[in-house]
Amino acid sequence: MKNPVSVPKRLRLVDLEHLLQNELIRILFQVTFVLFSFLRIYYHSEFSFLRFLKYRSVQSRKSVSRSNVSSLVFSNFCFAQLI
């Protein structure tokens, strides 16, 4: 039984170098793509978190009550005692 695809018994060194270069380039592109994907996800989540903090600070500034001010003064006093 013969193989339908004929594979040469010996590959030349030039062919091996060419295949190796192509494989390394492919791996480099894949690693770069994965790295940029992770960076994009990280920065998206980071900016979402910063947006949430900004929204929270705006909401807290809108609803400043006496208890919020007193707790803020107390926490600043405790922090000053630690320093």
Separation in Å, CA 23 to CA 11, 20, 26, 28, 50: 16, 5, 5, 9, 40
For residue 40, the model assigns a pLDDT of: 82
Q: Which two tokens stand for residue 36?
A: 């940029």
pLDDT digits (tens, 9 = 90+) for 30-52: 999 999 888 888 777 777 777 77
- What residues does each domain of the chain span? 13-82
The distance between the two most distant Cα atoms of the chain, rounded to a whole number of Å, is 91
Calpha distance 8→10 (Å, rounded): 6
On average, the pLDDT of the chain sits at 72
